[in-house]
Structure 1
Amino acid sequence: MVCWLCAGSNHWGLSSPSSRALPDRIRRFQFPRALCEPCPALVSSRYTSLRVQYFRPFFLPCFVSSSITLCSIVVALVFLEETLPSKIAAQHGKIPDAVQGSDYGAIVQPTRIIKAAPPPTAMELVANPKIRSVLTAGFFLWFLSISWDTVFVLFAYTPAALGGLQRTPAEIGIFLATLGGLGIFMALVAFPILQHRFGTLALYRACMSLWPIMFMLFSATSLFARQALGTLSNTGSHTALACMWIGVSLILLTDRVATMAYATNVMAVKAVAPSRSSLGATFGLSMSVGCCAWSIAPAFVSSLFALSINHQILGGQFVWLVMFCIALGGYIAVRRLR
């Protein structure tokens, strides 16, 4: 799961967004684009039945992606072996050590085999205060991270007069490609050192404390962008331009450090699991909570951003105030972990 979270946060920043920063000659040979428009002239001339929006451009890339996922499921079912001790013993028909005789001819009292208690249900896990606290903190983490992924592109593309950065698609691609590179460094180099030095809980709290600061940086960078592009004054300010780029750099760096909380969250979930038999169910609950946040966050933050920009609420800064309050709630939730 840790590998999936790290890879998921990095490959998105390196692959699709970075294509905007590539020259047209290189971009022309992209594999996803080839799937979206495979030999357009041939398709138009011979396969007129495929001139449907469902098939072009969506069907073929989605079909290839789902086929790869199906292959991974088949490989896992065929080649991955069971590791749960109770399952292994049942498969091989092993007799527990407690009922095997160790001395020949000795009178051994019959050993009563105590049946293991069934693993707790999902409701019993949620009723556990420690698990509930970790799930709450995890929800905030997922919500803030997905919100950042959504709103940063909107913020970077929005005109400076409305509260954005007014950047081109190529520049936004460079931003996100840089983000992916920073994420790889943080996951492979920085996180193991910091986790060993400060511990899981302390690092979790430190990472979550960066989210409120990050959304404050959004607001400050927006103001510097307006000044740099001359929307609040007659001429642009070189100092404001420098401050704007410093703000963008700090936002990117802070986000990569803050997303190290994903790995600490996984460790926290493992630590609060009541037993080994309930570990899978606990992780399943954590992923369910994360998926709930994943389904809510993009629509929420994009709508909030549009409302703030279109109506210029607090000069377009209302979205950052709301996200700051949510991030502060996430930090408070992590502070309650013990």
Structure 2
Amino acid sequence: MANTTSGTVSQPSHRNVTSPSASRVTESTSLLRPDRPEYDVHGAGSTYGSSPPNCDTSNEVEGKPLPTRQILLLCYVRVVEPLAFFSIFPYISQMVQENGNVPDSDIGFYSGLIESMFSLTQAIVMIFWGRAADLIGRKPVLVSSLFGVTFATALFGMAKSIPQMILFRCIAGVFAGTIVTIRTMIAEHSTPKTQARAFSWFAFTGNLGIFLGPLIGGALANPTRQYPGAFGSIEFLKKYPYALSSLVIALIGATAAVSSLLFIEETLKKEVTSVDRDSEDRLDAPVQCDLSTTQLLKASGVSKVLYVFAHITILAFAYTAIIPVFWYTPVRLGGFNFTTFQISLMMGLNGAAQAAWLLLVFPPLHHRVGSNRVIRLCALAYPWFFLCCPLGNVLLRMDTEGSLRIFWVFMPVTLALGSGVAMSFTAIQLAVNDIAPSPKYLGTLNALALTGSSGLRAFCPALFNSLFALGTRTQLTGGYAIWIFMFVLGATLFISANCLPEPEAHKEQGD
């Protein structure tokens, strides 16, 4: 979708080939060469990047209203993947101990392994789901993925050994192709004027799934012990204490699959070409442009956008992994020494603030300045947002009445304001859509972005938590080493963001 302030959609050129045969051969051959000017995909003045000549692309019509029903259905489907991923976190350690009878020292290893297998398998198969969505259609991939992840999630709660837990988690990851298809379908339902609002809803529902997943998992795990009056007599739940949580998540997935099958519309526009078989020159027919994954990565601007996507993803996963541990860590070691209740309150504030930024601020801001400038504004804010954490610890270490009062004003305010960096997640998604050479590659391009994201989600939490633990143990730079590293990592995002390809529409308007 376009990064334009005006929201206009420039129409691509669909030229009829009338030149001599030799020139037609030269022109059609150049379509598969990203280094040729004809393949320039910087043009965010159109719904997608400038399309190669003679490729049949489909542009959104200016003024087309956002299909609210379709977007809401897709947003409901969006909740399923984070629910399936995060719902096991509250009980995974206990489940590992009961199923594997492993020593306490090994529980963390197996828990982390099982958690990460979802993202690892998701990263491996994501590109195949993206290609399938581009070839056979978005809806078949979406529905089949939903039924698969629903089935695997239901089985996970009935696993009775660690190998079974790993197997079912891998199967769930294999079928977690829903997110790439949903992103693509929302992009195809949107126009330059409505894309920011649609993707702000998409981001909000993703965060909602992250929030609700652990709540459902923790509330429904081992119900015969938690709620003996209601479930104590059910033998099935005694034998499978984690089945109820998984079955409830699976039920949500099943309703999403059925609603998708019945009500969600296909968005992939099939290319229809008519060839006059009696024509002397078959080159008069439109040329079918099929790019390999390698050619797509070499297309102008694609690799730069995907790099920034990965950079923002690292910052997000790193902060999300560190912050709960940091809040819990004693003040003398560099943390805040929060209670569980205080951590819950701060996480709730963070979620509410992100929702406000995404739903209320991002759409008008994006309409005014475009995706790239939203990303650059967030890039400027990231380092200072990270710096607030050690500054808060400094106030707590002072341990005076005045410093504590300042802390309890300073931290909630900075957390609420700093949560605005979440707009960068949605903005970079729109930048990925903008850079697609044509709509037919949206699925593959989103799959490439999410392949990297899934791989990073498998490794980043463990890596950054280890770095945090190392800094706390050694008290390097007073226990602030991780935040210095995060400050530098956040600062370098601004350099990366300045390399993003500029939309031609903004250049022409002097924006």
Q: TM-score range by the shorter chain?
A: 0.7 to 0.9
1:8 corresponds in structure 2 to: 206
1:36 corresponds in structure 2 to: 221
User: Counterparts of 1:190 and 1:129 in 2: how far apart (Å)?
Assistant: 31
2:343 corresponds in structure 1 to: 172
Q: Does 1:252 align with 2:415?
A: yes
Q: Does 1:334 align with 2:497?
A: yes
Q: String of CA shifts for 1:143-167, please: whole Å, max 9, x gaps.
A: 1112222211111111111111111
Equivalent residues of 1:119, 1:278 under 8 A apart = no
Cα displacement (A) at 1:129: 4.8
Specify which of 43, 48, 59 is matched with residue 243 of structure 2.
59
Cα displacement (A) at 1:45: 6.6
Cα displacement (A) at 1:246: 3.8
CA gap 1:271/1:306 in 2 versus in 1, 3 angstroms: same
User: Counterparts of 1:145 and 1:323 in 2: how far apart (Å)?
Assistant: 11
Q: Pick the structure with greater CA Rg.
A: 1
Give 1:1-338 correspondences, 5 Å limit.
Answer: 1=183, 2=199, 3-10=201-208, 12-13=210-211, 15=212, 32-33=217-218, 35-40=220-225, 41=228, 47=235, 50-51=238-239, 55-56=240-241, 58-86=242-270, 112=282, 114-228=285-399, 237-338=400-501
Q: String of CA shifts for 1:277-335, please: whole Å, max 9, x gaps.
A: 11221111111122222222211111111111122111101111111222122222111
User: Counterparts of 1:199 and 1:154 in 2: how far apart (Å)?
Assistant: 35
User: Counterparts of 1:49 and 1:252 in 2: how far apart (Å)?
Assistant: 41
Task: Name the aligned partner's letter for residue 64 of structure 1.
Answer: V
Cα displacement (A) at 1:250: 4.2
User: Counterparts of 2:439 and 2:233 in 1: how far apart (Å)?
Assistant: 60
Equivalent residues of 1:11, 1:180 under 8 A apart = no
Equivalent residues of 2:221, 2:244 under 8 A apart = yes
User: Counterparts of 1:190 and 1:46 in 2: how far apart (Å)?
Assistant: 49
Q: String of CA shifts for 1:29-54, please: whole Å, max 9, x gaps.
A: xx645521333458777739945xxx
Task: Name the aligned partner's letter for residue 217 of structure 1.
Answer: C
Task: Name the aligned partner's letter for residue 39 of structure 1.
Answer: T
Cα displacement (A) at 1:197: 2.2
User: Counterparts of 1:115 and 1:70 in 2: how far apart (Å)?
Assistant: 42
User: Counterparts of 1:36 and 1:64 in 2: how far apart (Å)?
Assistant: 11
User: Counterparts of 1:49 and 1:35 in 2: how far apart (Å)?
Assistant: 11
Equivalent residues of 1:10, 1:184 under 8 A apart = no
Equivalent residues of 1:141, 1:330 under 8 A apart = yes
Equivalent residues of 2:349, 2:416 under 8 A apart = no
Question: TM-score by structure 1 length?
Answer: 0.78
- Name stretches of at least 5 consecutive residues in structure 2 with no aligned partner: 1-182, 184-198, 502-511
User: Counterparts of 1:81 and 1:111 in 2: how far apart (Å)?
Assistant: 38
- Name stretches of at least 5 consecutive residues in structure 1 with no aligned partner: 20-30, 90-94, 100-107, 229-236
1:27 corresponds in structure 2 to: none
Task: Name the aligned partner's letter for residue 292 of structure 2.
Answer: T
Task: Name the aligned partner's letter for residue 136 of structure 1.
Answer: Y
Helix, strand or coil for the counterpart of 1:119?
coil
User: Counterparts of 2:361 and 2:298 in 1: how far apart (Å)?
Assistant: 35
Task: Name the aligned partner's letter for residue 380 of structure 2.
Answer: S
Equivalent residues of 2:224, 2:238 under 8 A apart = no
CA gap 1:133/1:278 in 2 versus in 1, 3 angstroms: same
User: Counterparts of 1:217 and 1:34 in 2: how far apart (Å)?
Assistant: 33
Cα displacement (A) at 1:240: 1.7
Query: How many pairs are equivalent?
Result: 298
Helix, strand or coil for the counterpart of 1:118?
coil
The runs of at least 4 aligned residues of structure 1 exceeding 3 Å deviation read 10-13, 31-34, 39-51, 108-113
Cα displacement (A) at 1:6: 2.3
RMSD: 2.8
Q: String of CA shifts for 1:205-231, please: whole Å, max 9, x gaps.
A: 101221111111112111112112xxx
Q: String of CA shifts for 1:52-105, please: whole Å, max 9, x gaps.
A: xxx33x333123213422442343234323222326x6xxxxx85x97xxxxxx
Cα displacement (A) at 1:8: 2.0
CA gap 1:44/1:122 in 2 versus in 1, 3 angstroms: same
User: Counterparts of 2:326 and 2:474 in 1: how far apart (Å)?
Assistant: 15
User: Counterparts of 2:491 and 2:300 in 1: how far apart (Å)?
Assistant: 21
User: Counterparts of 2:263 and 2:347 in 1: how far apart (Å)?
Assistant: 36
Equivalent residues of 2:358, 2:422 under 8 A apart = no
Cα displacement (A) at 1:273: 0.7
